[in-house]
Amino acid sequence: MQGYSLELCAGAGGQALGLEQAGFEHVGLVEIDPHACATLRLNRPEWCVHEDDLNTFDARLYKGIDLVAGGFPCPPFSIAGKQLGADDDRDLFPIGLRIADEVRPKAIMIENVKGLLSPRFEDYRCDINSELEKLGYRTFWKLLNAADYGVAQLRPRVLIVALRKPYADNFSWPSPARRQAKVGSTLIDLMKTRGWRDADAWKDGALSIGPTIVGGSKKHGGPDLGPTRARKAWAELGVDGLGIANDAPDEDFSGMPRLTNRMVARLQGFPDSWQFSGKKTNTYRQIGNAMPAPLANAVSKQIAIAINKGIKNRPVRSQQSQWQAALL
């Protein structure tokens, strides 16, 4: 066990899974969407899931844990949107800073879209660094691609890691894997589940990573693989991106197959055992908006190394029991 964590905007659990795989034990997860909360409870009934609005969530019960992690909403910084930043009412970075002040964890890990690194948000990034510096943290920013950590899709993400100064000198970013996973080899067994005769030929043509999977929002986006440019890239891999299939291709299927939600979940790094609550479209949004578990795992392992090298006193399990008891 590497430490205790509180997760914000937990979604369907991609980041939570990665942290769990890295050895962190979740003592609390905050998520506002009821379907995503149901997904978390379905797979990990032992997790303490707060179905709550982060704007009003009181995090003081978790004061002193090792890690606060989260993936804040992307639209304020996404190049696909208006990039309103702080003027977008979905911007939760100020709330994250308030929670950091309430909890004072040893480390913070936040994931967002690469648009956050654009020149227009330079002052915004400086403000975040300044506020975290006041709280006693040193901050690290890096653009990482999930494809470099075992995920078969192009998924650049900005990772922000902040560590209290006794641990900051021990932190380094994870090294990329030597080889990238390919769409064909990643999905071939799922494509074959109903006996599709052309599955092996399809695999031979799907020899690269896929484009970024986009989950969309309640207002925009549905169960398809994204805008025209993304669908064209999927077509080059032999995939029809106009929709999501209910099942794998049957024995006599001809043409380009569509991916199922289970296939998309695997491309996002979810294990096949992970179940999702909700109907097809809602499930796809949960999957598409998740942080890939392998990327979360790679970064949080480095955070754990930094903490463990500099740690003197770790809260014992009895303190976790106190955190949980306070919530009953």
Contact 24, 3 (CB under 8 A): yes
Supply the DSSP string of 274-289, one letter for each residue. Answer: ----S-HHHHHHHHHT
What distance in Å separates the CA atoms of residue 107 and residue 161, rounded to the nearest whole number? 7
- Using CB atoms within 10 A of its CB, is residue 87 exposed (0-12), middle (13-18) or buried (19+)? exposed
Sequence-ordered list of residues with C-beta below 8 angstroms from that of 302, at least 6 positions apart, any chain: 161, 171, 172, 173, 174
Q: Which residues contact 139 (CB under 8 A, 6 or more apart)?
A: 128, 129, 132, 133, 160, 161, 162
3-state secondary structure at position 86 = helix
Exposure of 255 by Cβ count < 10 A (0-12 exposed, 13-18 middle, 19+ buried)?
exposed
Sign of dihedral through CA atoms 243, 213, 92, 81? negative
Closest CA to 109 of 79, 152, 66: 66
| Annotated active-site residue in 9, 37, 48, 74 | 74
Q: Which residues contact 93 (CB under 8 A, 6 or more apart)?
A: 72, 86, 110, 124, 128
| Catalytic annotation present for 9 | no
State whether residue 202 is helix, strand or coil.
Answer: helix
Instruction: List the catalytic residues.
Output: 74
